Amino acid sequence: MSAALASLLQNVVVIIVYVVILFGLSVKLTLLSLLLAPVLLLIIRPMINRLRGRSRELAAERGEVTSHVGEMIASAKLVRAYVAEAFELGRFQVLAERLSQARAAGAALLSLTSPVSEVFGGVMIVLILVVGTRLALARARRSTQRC
């Protein structure tokens, strides 16, 4: 608990120092960055929530398959005695198919999360560079006109 608290405190201090440095460099760019960051969270948050849901679903399916296999192994003599191999195999195939579908859906969502965040992050960087360049050019023009 104390290590987590120390890490939290350290991260808060680092963020505060970065924000102070950014405000020292350019107030407008800092405000633009601070306004764009929550937009990225609003875009990515639903995807992360769906990914967590898929992850829980996958864990439940994996537990179901593991439970069924353990049950089949423990009752192998009963399955043979009642000639229920085909029934148990069919039941296992249904569970394995559901697990496979859950895994594929989770992988598809996971593969989509990174490109979306990278594209939006790239757009944010380009926007910050454009605004920063315009601010620098305007400042250079003003200093040239004074001379």
Best-predicted range by mean pLDDT (12-26, 100-114, 116-130): 12-26
Residue 60 has pLDDT above 70, yes or no: yes
pTM (global) more than 0.85: no
| Cα dist from 37 to 27, 40, 41, 120, 134, whole Å | 16, 5, 7, 10, 21
pLDDT (mean) for 67-75: 88
- Mean pLDDT, the chain, integer: 86
What pLDDT sits at residue 48? 83
pLDDT at 80: 81
Query: Are 52 and 90 spatial neighbours (Cβ–Cβ below 8 Å)?
Result: no
The confidence score (pLDDT) of residue 147 equals: 64
67: which 2 tokens?
A: 């439970």
Q: Stretch 55-69: mean pLDDT, rounded?
A: 89
Other Cβ atoms within 10 Å of 127 Cβ, number:
13
- Look at residue 76 and tell me whether its pLDDT is greater than 80: yes
Residue percentage of the chain with pLDDT more than 90: 16
Measured distance CA(113)–CA(47) in Å, rounded:
7
Answer for the pair 95, 72: CB distance below 8 angstroms, yes or no: no
